[in-house]
Amino acid sequence: MARIPLISVVDDDDSFRESLLGYFRSVGFAARGFASAAAFLDSGELELADCVTLDVRMPGMSGPALQSQLRRLRPDLPIVFITAHGDETTRARVLQEGAIACLPKPFDGRELLTAIHTAVGERDD
């Protein structure tokens, strides 16, 4: 039996994070949530994640700052940004740094699912 991909959700908005975790689980992924970049980095789960979704603006370390750190710690880890605060400069920068996608809130669920499937190397049928 194939292993179920694990999506780590890093977002400081509790209700959004929980909603996203429920969505990922409802479409067949394993999912774990973290309220901050530090919580994710301190969790010991960096090596377990198959993909990370990041918010751009968070207290403490921002999403783009975490992306830079993840590129050093685990360069193969796919990242999908989801943000209510994305400007075109930030979007272009995170994509140039290797993010799979940078989706604005509100986003289309199908677009998110396509990005996640791309990130974990699955077909989105």
Who contacts 37 (Cβ-Cβ below 8 Å, separation ≥6)? 10, 54, 58, 60, 61, 62, 63, 65, 66, 69
Instruction: Please report whether residue 1 resides in a domain.
Output: no
**CA 70/CA 61 separation, integer angstroms:** 12
pTM: 0.93
Instruction: Please report whether residue 51 resides in a domain.
Output: yes
Instruction: Please report whether residue 39 resides in a domain.
Output: yes
Q: Tens digit of pLDDT per residue, the chain (125 long)?
A: 578 999 999 999 999 999 999 999 999 999 999 999 999 999 999 999 999 999 999 999 999 999 999 999 999 999 999 988 768 898 999 999 999 999 998 888 899 999 999 999 864 44
Instruction: Please report whether residue 13 resides in a domain.
Output: yes
CATH number, position 33: 3.40.50.2300
Residue among 82, 87, 90 nearest 113 (CA): 82
Instruction: Please report whether residue 46 resides in a domain.
Output: yes
Instruction: Give residue 50's domain range.
Output: 6-120
Q: How many domains would you assign to the chain?
A: 1
What's CA 47's distance to the chain center, in Å?
14
Instruction: Please report whether residue 125 resides in a domain.
Output: no
Confirm if 116 and 24 have CB atoms less than 8 A apart. yes
Instruction: Please report whether residue 44 resides in a domain.
Output: yes
Confirm if 124 and 28 have CB atoms less than 8 A apart. no
